[in-house]
Amino acid sequence: MTTTPEATGWPPPALAQDDCYPLFAWFASKPDARRLVREHCERIAAQRREDTQTKG
């Protein structure tokens, strides 16, 4: 597909899918993508907190 999504109006780099059609298409195909990203980020943050506590 060669069309590009309509820009959201948010300034870069807020919404990378405005600049990357494959990313836009991936988000569109995954209704739960935001939840999955949020959960993954929470796991990363928890691991960093744990690493900081064990090193400090």
Per-domain residue ranges for the chain? 32-56
Dist CA 40 CA 34 (whole Å):
10
Does the model's pTM come out above 0.75? no
pLDDT digit string, tens, across residues 1-56: 556 556 656 565 556 666 777 877 887 888 888 888 889 999 999 999 999 888 76
Provide the pLDDT for residue 13. 57
Dist CA 36 CA 29 (whole Å):
13
Nearest to 37 by CA among 49, 23, 51: 23
